[in-house]
Structure 1
Amino acid sequence: MNFTSLLHRLGLWLMGVFLVIAAAGIFWYLSGRGQSQVQYATVFVKRGNVENTIVAAGTLQPVRYVDVGAQTSGQLKSLKVKRGDRVEKAQLLAEIDPALASSALTAAQAMLENLTAQREAKRAQLLLAGKQLDRNEYLVRRDLIAASEADIARAAYNTAFSEFESLSAQIKQAEATIETTRASLGYTRILAPMAGEVVSIATLEGQTINANQQAPIILRIADLSTMTVWAQVSEADVMRVKAGQEVYFTVLGQPERRRYGKVRQILPAPELLNNVVFYNVLFDVPNPQQELKIQMTAQIFIVVAQAKGALLIPTAAIGNASEGSRIQVRILKADGKVELRPIKIGVKNEIAAQVTEGLKEGERVVIGEIQAKDPTKSAPGLKKGP
């Protein structure tokens, strides 16, 4: 072996060693430093409350109100209340001029007296006709007068009897008229049908009321101690609403204060607003201080499902998983390794989801990965630090 051949073989050996060292360095970089650049975004499993709600808009109305009208015609003589007044049941609210009703009652009473007098006179005629009939029938039986005389007496008696019965019927009608006119006279005093607050007045003093053409409204009384919230729920959500579900709402004047109630009723008839179908869901709320007013706007939350003191993770960690489903999530363990873990989802909303199986409080759930920049490289145009 000459010297040139020895140098050639030594060069090949050194090149092989260099390639092995280079390959080992690249492997180390990729397997060690490369992996160290991947970081995980995680959240801790914690306890809290979660609820699934249907959000709706609505308005407030009195739980009960009555439109107080007039049942007789005439001029509104006096109005005893004003808007905002508190009234009790049977309290005098207004008076209609009683002149027309009083005159009608006087005329009806006079008619009754006239008919009564006529009937008494007809009673006397009936008694006389009855006696004449008895006398003629007696004489006919003894052939002292012709039978036609008895027929004439019988016809007179029947006529008197019919007229007597007619007058009796007219008297009953007159008595009914008196009762009606007496009631109309009583209707000139308008009393409160319920306790509540006068919320509106439609007829003012001096206006003429015609009860024969329409049902005139004088004022409205409402019970404001309890308010009914009318929530407009879309047809996409209404099938999830049930009577008895918890519901709360806020008003514009107190957006931080929640007021609670329970669903009382779902009205079957829909409302069409801007080509969208809504159903009215009703619930009641106490209003002892009368802070809530008629027609206030409310933002309403109907609680479909809820869990308190539950294990929670962000909804972003479960994707589109539905309530009650089983999925797998990634758990970052204490040694830095990632483990796939099967879990079961409970109540969820747009922010958080309940975990009923598979996780413990304090565990870290991976919600994403962060690719860190290589600290050995500088951004273009920037110098490395000293």
Structure 2
Amino acid sequence: MKIESLPPASTAPAVPVKSPARRWRKPVIALAALALAGAGGYAWTHAGSAKPAPAAAAEKKETVHELSARDIAVVEARPLALTLPLSGSLTPLAQATVRSKVSGVVQQTMVQEGMAVSAGQVIARLDDSEARARVAQQQALLADAGARLALAKKNQANSAALLKQNYIAQNAYDTSSNAVDLAQAAVDSARAQLELARIALNDTAIRAPLSGVVSKRHAQAGEKLSPDSPVFTIVDLKQLTLDAQVPASDIPRIKAGQEVQFKVDGFGARNFAGKVLRINPAAEAGSRAMLVYIGVDNPDGVLRAGMFAKGVVTTEKTNAHPLLPLLGVRQDHGRDVVYRVDAGKVVAQPVKLGLKNEDDGLVEALDGIRPGATVLAVKLDDVKPGDKVTLPAKKD
């Protein structure tokens, strides 16, 4: 059996074993160095291709606001008025119901409803045969009384001559004088009766008491009328009255002479004018409103009685001043300002205000602005003083 011996132990110096911590430090450091080198190379290769940011991007772009026609208003100088609404019906200032003054049968009617008549025009006739007979009778009675008066005067003259010669007593003369007085009275009475008969005859021709338009005919030909029977109704349309009801709380604002503007159904946009004539001192029981009477001139006669009218009465009116839109007035540190457009920029313009009309949305500018200026008519939150704006193009 062969016995092999082991080789002798090496005499080379032993290599020290490294710890695991030291084993991964060098690879990490190498990787970091490579990363830094790559980043530096990328920065060097792209340094020439980087473009600087434009200067316009660094600055904020200026905004220009475009205004519409409803955003602006051109200041006008004209009077500003405060008004109060009212409504009512039109009634003739003068109207009359023509009545028969005497009894008689209607012989003829000359006019009908809607026809114009003049004052004094004959509009109907009654049968005048009885009236003519009465006139003739009174003429005869007057003649008889005149004859009796003449006889009484002759007797008085004879009595006076006999009295001078003492042929009769004073008492007889006085009797003849008294007969003259009685005859004279009879003549006067007969003359008055004749005048009444003539008036009655004249009254058989019924005349218009005023100029106007016939609104109603109450009698027809052939009807028997008694005294005071209605025949026609005539209205004068040249002067009308608008009877308007106004709440009692608003009556202190109304005075005689104030101007009234109103419209009537059927006449489109046509405006009519009038003036306050008087105010009824008593309020209506149901509505607690008071009647205000407004005089209306109607020279062309287009307005008719009974038409309904709606309008306003001007309770206060100022002189001509620049007028501003109420919605465009702002408060700035306790003062009133409007935004005025000047050379394409918005300017805060302080103003001194006067009378306001909230119904029309206008306010009077006593100071601070002139007619012709362009102002913002409404409040635009994104528009401030100093901003640039463009105005809408003007229409030809």
Note whether the superposition's TM-score is higher than 0.5. yes
Please tell me whether the aligned partners of residues 328 and 338 of structure 2 are also in contact (alpha carbons under 8 angstroms): no
Query: Following TM superposition, by how much is the alpha carbon of 1:59 offset from its aligned partner in structure 2, in angstroms?
Result: 1.6
| Distance (Å, rounded) in 2 between the aligned partners of 1:318 and 1:294 | 49
Aligned ranges 1:1-386 → 2 under 5 Å: 46-47=74-75, 51-136=81-166, 153-211=169-227, 215-259=228-272, 261-263=273-275, 265-270=277-282, 272=284, 274-288=286-300, 290-304=301-315, 305=317, 310-314=322-326, 328-329=335-336, 343-356=352-365, 357-358=367-368, 361-364=373-376
Structure 2: segments with no counterpart, 5+ residues: 1-69, 383-396
Read off the aligned partner of 2:233 and give its amino acid letter.
Answer: R
* TM-score under structure 2 length normalisation: 0.64
Percent of aligned positions that are identical:
21
| Distance (Å, rounded) in 1 between the aligned partners of 2:72 and 2:323 | 10
| Distance (Å, rounded) in 2 between the aligned partners of 1:339 and 1:256 | 39
Query: Following TM superposition, by how much is the alpha carbon of 1:117 offset from its aligned partner in structure 2, in angstroms?
Result: 2.4
Q: Cα–Cα, structure 1 residues 287 and 133, in superposed 2: closer, same or farther, change >3 Å?
A: closer
Please tell me whether the aligned partners of residues 330 and 337 of structure 2 are also in contact (alpha carbons under 8 angstroms): no
| Distance (Å, rounded) in 1 between the aligned partners of 2:267 and 2:83 | 20
Higher strand share: 1
| Distance (Å, rounded) in 1 between the aligned partners of 2:165 and 2:338 | 124
Query: Following TM superposition, by how much is the alpha carbon of 1:291 offset from its aligned partner in structure 2, in angstroms?
Result: 3.1
Query: Following TM superposition, by how much is the alpha carbon of 1:218 offset from its aligned partner in structure 2, in angstroms?
Result: 1.6
Query: Following TM superposition, by how much is the alpha carbon of 1:364 offset from its aligned partner in structure 2, in angstroms?
Result: 4.8
Give the SS at the match of 1:121: helix
Aligned-pair Cα RMSD in Å: 3.6
Query: Following TM superposition, by how much is the alpha carbon of 1:329 offset from its aligned partner in structure 2, in angstroms?
Result: 4.5
Give the SS at the match of 1:55: strand
Please tell me whether the aligned partners of residues 339 and 349 of structure 2 are also in contact (alpha carbons under 8 angstroms): no
CA deviations over 1:121-140 (Å, ceiling 9, x no partner): 33333334334333336xxx
Q: Cα–Cα, structure 1 residues 68 and 363, in superposed 2: closer, same or farther, change >3 Å?
A: same
Alignment correspondent of 2:390: none
Alignment correspondent of 1:142: none
CA deviations over 1:111-161 (Å, ceiling 9, x no partner): 212222222333333334334333336xxxxxxxxxxxx5xx221221121
Q: Which has the larger radius of gyration?
A: 2
| Distance (Å, rounded) in 2 between the aligned partners of 1:312 and 1:333 | 11
Query: Following TM superposition, by how much is the alpha carbon of 1:43 offset from its aligned partner in structure 2, in angstroms?
Result: 6.5
Query: Following TM superposition, by how much is the alpha carbon of 1:52 offset from its aligned partner in structure 2, in angstroms?
Result: 1.8
Structure 1: segments with no counterpart, 5+ residues: 1-41, 138-149, 320-326, 371-386
Q: How many residues align?
A: 302
Please tell me whether the aligned partners of residues 131 and 200 of structure 2 are also in contact (alpha carbons under 8 angstroms): yes
Read off the aligned partner of 1:302 and give its amino acid letter.
Answer: V
Q: Cα–Cα, structure 1 residues 316 and 272, in superposed 2: closer, same or farther, change >3 Å?
A: farther
| Distance (Å, rounded) in 2 between the aligned partners of 1:188 and 1:44 | 73
| Distance (Å, rounded) in 2 between the aligned partners of 1:315 and 1:351 | 11
